[in-house]
Amino acid sequence: MFHANAQQNGSSSDRGPVTGVVKWSFEGEGLYMMHSPLVGPEGTIYVQKGTGDYMIGNDAFYALSPEGKELWRWTRPGIRFSPGAITLDGSMLYTIGVPAGGKPDSSSTLFYVDTKTGKLIREVFLSNYYTETWMTHVAEDDKGNIYARGADVLNVYDPKGEKIWGYRSLIDRKLNYNPRITSGPTLSPDGKTVYLLFRAGGGLMAFDTATGKLRWHDKTWYKTDFSPAVVGLNGDIYITDDRTKSIFAVNPDGSRKWKVSFGDDKRLYNSFPAVGNDGTVYLIIEGKIVEKSNGYIYALDSRDGKIKWSYEFEPSRFATPPAIDRDGRIYAATGSGKVFCFTPDGEVLWKLLVGYVYKEGDDSGKRKERNAQIFMSGPVISNGMIYVIKGQMSAVGKGKLVAIGEAGPN
């Protein structure tokens, strides 16, 4: 699933590389650089073909072998797709699709694709409204039930595709209940609660997964671009807020646990938390002057939010969620095209340039190219490898998948 699991906390049960070298890359006809790759339990990798459209620039899925060979591709003419999700058993790919025009009143549909054949199994209408396509909208629980968010709708389906329950949110832009700016569903570790975050007002809602009953509604005005609610192993929920330059920790009952603010010289609009197995919360933050300011990664104690360590990156864009392997190593990517590996104590174990090298003296018009080479595509961990998509913002549909593994023979 996206960001490693249904809690979307980036904590993987797999091991990542202790040393980092590029093993292979895949471009196909050009990949959409603003989505993270997906990896199934058997090692198959799924990425999306780009079209060059910044906002809705993807129109096909590739399935690749662990060696980077194309197995199949699937498309639906006239449809653009959100990031997909792979079922726990690896048998199905889910994605939300919208008409290519991307108009607010266009519809949202859930698609089921067989991962062995790349054939469409079924499609389910979700909403008459358009769903943003640069964030994931699907999660799966350990019973195989699928939670799908399409604009103003959150529906739950059993493994056979039968609807269990649904929720439709208010549509009132004066109250900031805009169907286009909610986020995807996130599950509690015990699978009994599903969370739905409204990313620009409207707060955080918690629903009983069995009945669809609203458990509680935190009406705090959170503002974030693409991060959902992120849940740790103990059930605490983490939400970033660019309005207050803060990260919030919320208890499973909806009460606030703590809040940490980083100052007006920081920008959390693109920040996406990750949570390690030991409860440490990791957060990458941009400087206020985008592309000219340094960025930071912070490690926070989940008990009280105190900073355990931090690291300062060179000026760049920072909009990728970190990932954590089973041994606690943290993998982070920067807009300057670099991938970092940190130890749990904050030591840089290695860093690797996978992006493009620009010559000294490049004019300022190329600053965006230099500083947004990895953007929203977070590192994905699988079987000793990490995968990330690099590209250039002026050509978001011409990205390339990079596979990073241990030094030594392939």
What digits encode the pLDDT tens for the residues 341-355?
999 999 999 999 998
Amino acid symbol at 407: A
Which has the minimum average pLDDT: 106-120, 139-153, 167-181, 223-237? 167-181
d(CA 211, CA 277): 30
Q: Return mean pLDDT, the chain.
A: 88
d(CA 380, CA 19): 16
* Full set of structural domains in the chain with CATH: 2-405 (2.140.10.10)
Averaged pLDDT, 17-24: 96
Burial label for 351, CB within 10 Å (0-12, 13-18, 19+), is middle
Cα angle 128, 377, 42; round to 5: 90
Grouping H, G, I as helix, E, B as strand and the rest as coil, residue 364 is: helix
The predicted structure's pLDDT at residue 373:
87
d(CA 248, CA 307): 14
Averaged pLDDT, 199-221: 92
Tokens of 94: 């889910």
Beta bridge pairs of residue 339: 333, 352
Task: Please give the DSSP secondary-structure letter assigned to residue 173.
Answer: G
The predicted structure's pLDDT at residue 40:
95
d(CA 1, CA 93): 10
Q: Kindly report the backbone phi and psi dihedral angles of residue 285, in degrees, each rounded to the nearest multiple of 5, phi listed first.
A: -130, 140
Unique residue bearing structure tokens 């060059």 = 52
d(CA 333, CA 34): 13
C-alpha neighbours within 13 Å on the C-beta side of residue 112: 20
The predicted structure's pLDDT at residue 29:
83
The predicted structure's pLDDT at residue 227:
87
Query: How many separate helices (H) and strands (E) can be counted in the chain?
Result: 1, 34
Task: Please give the DSSP secondary-structure letter assigned to residue 133.
Answer: S
The predicted structure's pLDDT at residue 69:
97
| Residue 172 confidence (pLDDT) above 60 | no
Condensed to tens digits (0 to 9), the pLDDT of residues 35-62 reads: 899 999 999 999 998 775 655 557 899 9
Question: Cβ distance 372 to 335 under 8 Å?
Answer: yes
Q: Kindly report the backbone phi and psi dihedral angles of residue 175, in degrees, each rounded to the nearest multiple of 5, phi listed first.
A: -95, 5
| Residue 308 confidence (pLDDT) above 90 | yes
Q: Count CB atoms within 10 A of the CB of residue 244.
A: 17
Question: Cβ distance 236 to 225 under 8 Å?
Answer: no
Q: Please state the pTM of the whole predicted model.
A: 0.93
Question: Cβ distance 75 to 123 under 8 Å?
Answer: no
Unique residue bearing structure tokens 């993807």 = 58
Pairing status of strand 281-287 against strand 266-267: antiparallel
Tokens of 280: 């440490």
d(CA 96, CA 80): 8
Return the closest-CA partner of residue 224 out of 282, 266, 262, 269: 269
Grouping H, G, I as helix, E, B as strand and the rest as coil, residue 199 is: strand
Condensed to tens digits (0 to 9), the pLDDT of residues 243-268 reads: 999 999 999 999 999 999 999 999 99
The predicted structure's pLDDT at residue 333:
94
Return the closest-CA partner of residue 326 out of 281, 277, 385: 277
Grouping H, G, I as helix, E, B as strand and the rest as coil, residue 3 is: helix
Q: Kindly report the backbone phi and psi dihedral angles of residue 340, in degrees, each rounded to the nearest multiple of 5, phi listed first.
A: -115, 145
Return the closest-CA partner of residue 113 out of 155, 161, 152: 161
pLDDT category at 318 given cuts 50, 70, 90 is confident
